[in-house]
Amino acid sequence: MTPISILLVEDHHLVREALRALIEEGHQFSVIGQAEDGNQALEMTEKLRPNVVVMDIMMPHLNGLEATSRLRNLQYPPKIIILSQHHAQEYIVQALMIGANGYLLKDAAADELPTAIRAVVDGTTYLSAQIPREEIEEILLRKDSIEAPIDRLTPREREVLQLVAEGNTNRQIAHYLGISIKTVEKHRFSLMDKLNIRDVTGLVRFAIAQGIIEGNGGQFSIE
């Protein structure tokens, strides 16, 4: 039987190697690629077409939640398991709403990851044993009719939001995204207008609350 193919997306090399060893131990799964951030995840998924993507949330440049949203729109979308240290219901609900098939906590038992992979391949939504499934399902039912503030932003605006919150200047963002500084300024103005946030500090707080960046943040800039 052909092993289930896995793409690992995690910005720490040692963590990726540990996950790879765990996943391949039973010979049912094969790790066919490893990515360091969301952008690499998108490129490698299109190229390799893995059955399952196991993805961290907190990563530089393009976080796991935004990458998940974009992966769902591919012609051949994989199953996606979010791997996270965050127990907060807001993170779990947001991940499931944008298309994740599972949410696995990093402090889960070692045998939970293979179980989660098999579950999502079989078409089941997997949540770590510590997560109160009934509460999450109830929140999801309520949220179906409510637009979250982050949903008002375009994919590019969400990308600019993360880069701003990480402390990048407009010039740095323009260089990284391959667009002009004026275009960055346009996206920045638009996202701040949509979110009704008027300063960088507010954007950082919003990004932390949405699970886009870690709580310690970076050095802010308004250049």
Whether residues 171 and 125 fall in one domain:
no
- Among the three residues 120, 143, 166, which one is the final residue of a domain in this structure? 143
Predicted model pTM = 0.77
Whether residues 89 and 199 fall in one domain:
no
Closest CA to 212 of 175, 163, 171: 163
Give residue 157's pLDDT.
93
Whether residues 47 and 134 fall in one domain:
yes
Which residues in the chain show pLDDT less than 50? 217-223
3-state helix, strand, coil in the chain (%, to 5): 50, 15, 40
- Report yes or no on 27 lying in a domain: yes
Give residue 146's pLDDT.
58
Whether residues 96 and 187 fall in one domain:
no
Whether residues 32 and 92 fall in one domain:
yes
**Total tally of structural domains belonging to the chain:** 2
Whether residues 154 and 100 fall in one domain:
no
Write the CATH number for 191: 1.10.10.10
Domain of 190, in residue numbers: 149-209
- Report yes or no on 217 lying in a domain: no
Whether residues 39 and 20 fall in one domain:
yes
Can you tell me the distance from the alpha carbon of 185 to that of 194, in angstroms, rounded to the nearest whole number?
14
Whether residues 179 and 203 fall in one domain:
yes
